[in-house]
Amino acid sequence: MTATVVIGSQWGDEGKGKIIDFLGQSADVTVRYSGGDNAGHSLVVNDQKLALRLIPSGILAPNSICIIGNGTVINPATLLDEIKELNGVGVNIDHLKISDRAHIVFPYHILQDQQQERDRSKNGEKIGTTNKGIGPAYMDKMQRIGIRAIDLLDNETLEEKIAFNLEQKKRILDEDLWNQLPSLKELTAQYIEYGEILKDYITDTSYLIHTNLNDNKRVLFEGAQGTMLDIDHGTYPFVTSSNPTAGGAATGAGIGVTKIKHVIGVCKSYVSRVGEGPFPTEQINEVGDRIREIAHEYGTVTKRPRRIGWFDGVLMKYVSEVNGLTDLVVNCLDVLSGFKELKICTGYQTDHGVIKYYPASEKELKNSTPIYETLPGWDEDLTQMTTYEELPANAKNYLKKIEEITGVPVSAFSIGPDREQTIVLNDMWSD
Ligand code: GDP
Ligand code: IMO
Ligand code: MG
């Protein structure tokens, strides 16, 4: 029995999809445990590129079971588009399962998301959400009025539940947004149809995961977003509305924390962020522009340019503790080739000294100045390398520095978007 959790250790888009596809080749089960179609996970296999939103990135492993867990929020329209796209490129999704406890996103959630962003913009405080209705769907879950996958299978009560929700939303939504909603009848018919199409996939996935763990199978848990977007541990309020951290795997999939053997933090060799919010090591200059262009740093979901910054050791130390990381995977090492010097942030200077904790206060974070250590860069193209030994000495030193700062071993690193461009240093399935 091995349960391995993969989490994002920055602000999302660290390359989790690529690593989950890679590790998924040797997994029996892959489980998405949080978030919704705000996620965009890219995988590249034999020059074929896929961007997955809800379906676990282990879907390309033909014999593994892929689960969308109870901790997620599912927009059925996106899911069906994704299924169609996968079928179109010959990927079979018979091995997909959807938790009967997962919550469902409705059009009113998306309108509510728009309204909240519109309101916040008036004070110059918008979050820059993906506008997929994720926050409002989780709000309804917490408010105990959410509609779950199991409800799509009960036509008698579905209409009642939607009617109740529409009453609530009418009180909340501005008239122009409310007027964009389909009628109760239309909405119910649409979601009954989704239920019809998805009914064979909907099941008690927690039970399925336990059965597999008890049968000594390898189960891989796929985080979405990243630790710094976590509702509790991220840069609140500029976060998402779920727990992408490792603890979220236990609640979002329905397993005990004691089952988890490895917690793998995926990071880039630098940092990126989309949306608003603090970002101490951000480089709004030629360094940021250069990395953005080399690495095509534009959002998978929203196509927004990603903000870019130097590797942040303070953040990574915090993230390693919040998640209990056992392994690190460093992606995009190839992107740093050609820089004469590289910088890594090793401390935050504030008006009350160098701080040892990650500030909860937005103000304190804004007033934190990164303290950088400068490391020599390298010129060599890394993209064709197949072993650690081939790396230039300065690239090895860069990885060593990351290990030293975080206290977590680099168990793999990546030198290009393709599955094959992954170099493994430690077994991430060991007991
Ligand atoms: P995710 O949301 O964490 O799965 O990450 P995204 O897929 O949104 O963004 C990561 C981007 O980096 C994708 O375009 C990947 O193809 C790309 N990528 C991942 N690993 C590497 C790497 O080692 N080198 C380069 N150049 N690109 C990478
Ligand atoms: P993956 O899984 C990067 C960001 C949004 C916004 C904030 C809240 O691909 O790493 P939301 O729509 O969730 O309410 O938006 O979170 N965000 C992401 N940023 N990668 C993601 O997912 C993200 N999912 C949400 O840009 O700042
Ligand atoms: Mg992404």
> How far, in Å, is the centroid of ligand 1 from the Cα of 417?
6
- Identified catalytic residue from 21, 37, 41, 109: 41
Q: Is 13 a catalytic residue?
A: yes
pLDDT at 171: 97
> pLDDT tens digits for 53-107?
999 999 999 889 999 999 999 999 999 999 999 999 999 899 999 999 999 999 9
- In a shared domain, residues 194 and 249: no
- In a shared domain, residues 160 and 280: no
- In a shared domain, residues 251 and 380: no
- In a shared domain, residues 420 and 382: yes
pLDDT at 45: 86
- In a shared domain, residues 271 and 412: yes
- Structure confidence at residue 124 as a pLDDT band (50, 70, 90): confident
* Residue keyed to tokens 């240093």: 425
Backbone φ, ψ for residue 22 (5° rounding): -65, -55
- In a shared domain, residues 246 and 306: no
- In a shared domain, residues 190 and 179: yes
Q: Residue 383: CB within 6 Å of ligand 1? A: no
Average pLDDT over residues 40-56: 92
Q: Is residue 237 a part of any domain in this protein?
A: yes
342: CATH: 3.90.170.10
Domain end position, chosen among 264, 289, 307: 264
- Closest-CA residue, ligand 1 atom 12, reads 15
Q: Choose which residue among 18, 34, 38 to substitute to test ligand 2 binding: the one with the highest number of ligand atoms within 8 A of its C-beta.
A: 38
> How far, in Å, is the centroid of ligand 2 from the Cα of 6?
17
Q: Percentage of residues in the chain with pLDDT exceeding 90?
A: 94
- In a shared domain, residues 275 and 371: yes
Print the domain residue range for 95: 2-102+202-264
- Structure confidence at residue 123 as a pLDDT band (50, 70, 90): confident
Q: Is residue 331 a part of any domain in this protein?
A: yes
Domain end position, chosen among 182, 198, 214: 198
Average pLDDT over residues 28-54: 94
- Structure confidence at residue 156 as a pLDDT band (50, 70, 90): confident
Domain end position, chosen among 198, 216, 237: 198
- Average per-residue pLDDT for the chain: 96
Q: Residue 18: CB within 6 Å of ligand 1? A: yes
**CB within 8 A of 10, min separation 6: which ones?**
226, 227, 228, 267, 268, 271, 272, 273, 312, 315, 316, 319
- In a shared domain, residues 82 and 65: yes
Q: Is residue 429 a part of any domain in this protein?
A: no
Q: Residue 301: CB within 6 Å of ligand 1? A: no
Residue 1 has pLDDT above 80, yes or no: no
pLDDT at 307: 97
pLDDT at 242: 98
Q: Is residue 431 a part of any domain in this protein?
A: no
Give the number of the atom of ligand 2 that is nearest the alpha carbon of residue 229.
16
Q: Residue 10: CB within 6 Å of ligand 1? A: no
Average pLDDT over residues 279-291: 97
**CB within 8 A of 375, min separation 6: which ones?**
341, 342, 343, 344, 394, 397, 398, 401
402: tokens are: 């990351």
- Tally of structural domains, the chain: 3
- Closest-CA residue, ligand 1 atom 14, reads 42
- In a shared domain, residues 161 and 307: no
